[in-house]
């Protein structure tokens, strides 16, 4: 008896379900990744701004 690869109807429906799931959640994952990067970038910029303001104030208080 030869071995044949057969797909069950159940296997096909699982693939379709996975495709539907991916089609809904892939854009959401991309959106979430973009927002995380954006928040990190904004925080880094605000930290640089805070440090650039603090340094002259520290130097000014030392020179007094």
pLDDT digits (tens, 9 = 90+) for 38-64: 888 888 777 776 666 666 666 666 765
Q: What is the pLDDT of residue 8?
A: 58
Q: How confident is the model at residue 1 (pLDDT cuts 50, 70, 90)?
A: very low
Which of 5, 6, 8 is CA-nearest to residue 16?
8
Q: What DSSP assignment string belongs to 1-64?
A: --------HHHHHHHHHHHHHHHHHHHHHHHHHHHHHHHHHHHHHHHHHHHHHHHHHHHHHHH-
At 33 the pLDDT is: 92
The pLDDT of residue 40: 87
pTM of the entire predicted model: 0.46
Phi and psi of 24, rounded to 5°?
A: -85, -45
């Amino acid at each position: 008896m030869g071995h044949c690869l057969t797909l069950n109807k159940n296997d096909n429906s699982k693939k379709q379900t996975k495709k539907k799931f991916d089609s809904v959640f892939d854009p959401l994952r991309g959106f979430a990744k973009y927002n995380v990067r954006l928040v990190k970038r904004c925080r880094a910029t605000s930290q640089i701004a805070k440090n650039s303001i603090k340094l002259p104030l520290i130097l000014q208080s030392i020179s007094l």
